[in-house]
């Protein structure tokens, strides 16, 4: 039996120089095709002596074949691409966890691309993940780049949209029932006695989930105000750097409320934290000077001020269902695009104390 001498640097420290199939072939004095036959369990095509040489070389080199390379040889990468608008948003992280669990259970790996809230990178994300041979996409993006939708369709890979629609893209869509969730939060504030209401959001234009929540806010105000004439509602859209604008909007709300207390509905967890910071700057107290209900139940919500009331989204389930829909498509399911809506859940804490309970 003839095996070439293996360099000590490879044999003793594979982390510094990971062995390749070519290294195994040289060490066993055979061709790469012979090593490939052995790895693919076709050693019946090899003599016992050659098979033993290859096996010994593999063991001595601590060689392990690349899962990616093996999958690509079979025409399947078992990779799914997930593109999120902002990985600092707790919603995106929670959806990622749910999708990752579902992918792992089905034997797939998830590759993440974070846009950093830059809609100009949506097409870049599609192209980058396609280069890694992903089999399909889960998109939780801003949805402003129509070219990104066209690029995904051009590559012929199935797509599932989460939370935000893409104009012109026919794909499975998984989302919170935004209108129902907004009504849930506003009904709670009204029942608690708040009559001057403010909806605070990041810029809404062309982002479907934000548009739906803003529209639901106005629809609620218009409907309820017919029976409750003192009910008033306004909206404010602001960016991360517009602290002054948010402070002014909150001051105006309190002035309009007069002797009553104003209530705020925040459009997501990022906005909720901005409002909490503004309340601190203004020297107010949550649940006493201002009521607050935010979207997204986070780990820190119970510990901020008197505890933040929230509308909990079923984020883990959203991620799981999105991944499940995509995997069904990858396995050959052919149906018209599906629309799947999940309900939110109200979690009440001290930030939206009922006015009647604030005395004494």
The string of DSSP codes covering 332-351 is T---SPPEEEE--EEE--GG
Q: pLDDT at residue 230 above 80?
A: no
Angstrom distance (rounded) from CA 172 to CA 153? 13
- pLDDT, tens digit, for every residue of 273-325? 999 999 999 999 999 999 999 999 999 999 999 999 999 999 999 999 999 99
Please state which CATH number belongs to domain 8-65: 1.10.260.40
Q: pLDDT at residue 43 above 80?
A: no
Query: Which is more confidently placed, 94 or 1?
Result: 94
Half-sphere exposure (Cβ direction) of 97: Cα atoms closer than 13 Å: 9
Angstrom distance (rounded) from CA 343 to CA 349? 20
Q: pLDDT at residue 359 above 70?
A: no
Q: Which range is least confidently modeled, 8-12, 142-146, 178-182, 229-233?
A: 8-12
Give percent of the chain above pLDDT 70.
Answer: 86
Average pLDDT, integer, range 256-275: 93
| Cα distances (Å, whole numbers) of residue 184 to 50, 237, 293 | 71, 21, 10
Q: 11's torsion region: left (phi>0), alpha (psi -120 to 50) or beta? A: alpha
Contact, 280 vs 272, CB < 8 A?
no
For the record, the structure tokens of 75 come out as 């025409």
For the record, the structure tokens of 303 come out as 């510990």
Average pLDDT, integer, range 237-244: 92
| 37-51, 155-169, 209-223: range with highest mean pLDDT | 209-223
Average pLDDT, integer, range 190-201: 94
Classify 167 as helix, strand or coil: coil
How does the average pLDDT of the chain come out, rounded?
86
CATH 1.10.260.40 range(s) for the chain read 8-65
Q: Is the dihedral of CA 327, 147, 114, 66 positive or negative?
A: positive
pLDDT value of position 357:
54
Half-sphere exposure (Cβ direction) of 45: Cα atoms closer than 13 Å: 10
Please state which CATH number belongs to domain 178-313+345-357: 3.40.50.2300
**To the nearest 10°, the Cα dihedral for 166, 170, 176, 178?**
60
Average pLDDT, integer, range 215-241: 86
- pLDDT, tens digit, for every residue of 131-190? 888 999 999 987 776 676 667 767 788 999 999 888 777 889 999 999 999 999 999 999
The domain defined by 77-176+316-342 folds into: Rossmann fold (3.40.50)
| Cα distances (Å, whole numbers) of residue 224 to 116, 154, 219, 264 | 38, 46, 9, 16
Query: Which is more confidently placed, 124 or 227?
Result: 124
pLDDT value of position 13:
46
Please compute Rg for the chain using Cα positions: 28
Query: Which is more confidently placed, 308 or 16?
Result: 308
Q: pLDDT at residue 126 above 70?
A: yes
Q: pLDDT at residue 106 above 60?
A: yes
CATH 3.40.50.2300 range(s) for the chain read 77-176+316-342, 178-313+345-357
Average pLDDT, integer, range 328-351: 94
Angstrom distance (rounded) from CA 239 to CA 44? 66
pLDDT value of position 3:
46
């Amino acid at each position: 039996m003839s095996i070439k001498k293996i360099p000590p640097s490879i044999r003793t420290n594979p982390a510094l120089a990971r062995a390749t199939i070519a290294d195994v072939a040289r060490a066993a004095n055979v061709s790469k095709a012979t090593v490939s036959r052995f790895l693919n369990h076709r050693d019946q095509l090899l003599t016992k002596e050659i098979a033993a040489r290859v096996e010994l070389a593999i063991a001595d080199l601590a060689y392990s074949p690349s899962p990616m390379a093996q999958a690509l040889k079979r025409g399947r990468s078992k990779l799914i691409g997930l593109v999120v608008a902002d990985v600092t948003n707790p919603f995106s992280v929670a959806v990622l966890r749910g999708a990752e669990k579902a992918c792992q259970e089905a034997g797939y790996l998830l590759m993440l691309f974070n846009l950093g809230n830059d809609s100009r990178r949506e097409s870049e994300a599609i192209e980058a993940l396609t280069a890694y041979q992903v089999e399909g996409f889960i998109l939780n993006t801003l949805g402003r780049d129509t070219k990104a939708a066209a690029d995904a369709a051009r590559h012929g890979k199935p797509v599932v949209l989460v939370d935000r629609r893409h104009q012109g893209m026919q794909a499975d869509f998984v989302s919170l029932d935004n209108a129902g969730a907004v009504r849930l939060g506003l009904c709670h504030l009204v029942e608690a006695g708040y009559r001057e209401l403010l909806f605070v959001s990041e810029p809404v234009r062309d982002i479907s989930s934000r548009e739906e929540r803003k529209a639901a806010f106005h629809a609620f105000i218009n409907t309820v105000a017919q029976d409750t004439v003192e009910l008033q509602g306004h909206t404010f859209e602001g960016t991360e750097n517009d602290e002054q604008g948010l402070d002014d909007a909150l001051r105006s709300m309190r002035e309009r409320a007069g002797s009553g207390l104003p209530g705020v509905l925040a459009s997501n967890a990022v906005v909720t934290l901005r409002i909490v910071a503004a309340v601190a700057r203004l020297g107010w107290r949550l649940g006493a000077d201002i009521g607050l209900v935010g979207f997204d139940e986070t780990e820190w919500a119970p510990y901020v001020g008197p505890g933040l009331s929230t509308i909990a989204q079923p984020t883990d389930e959203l991620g799981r269902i999105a991944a499940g829909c995509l995997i069904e498509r990858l396995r050959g399911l052919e149906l018209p695009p599906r629309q799947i809506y999940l309900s939110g859940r109200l979690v009440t804490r001290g930030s939206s104390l009922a006015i009647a309970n604030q005395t004494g």
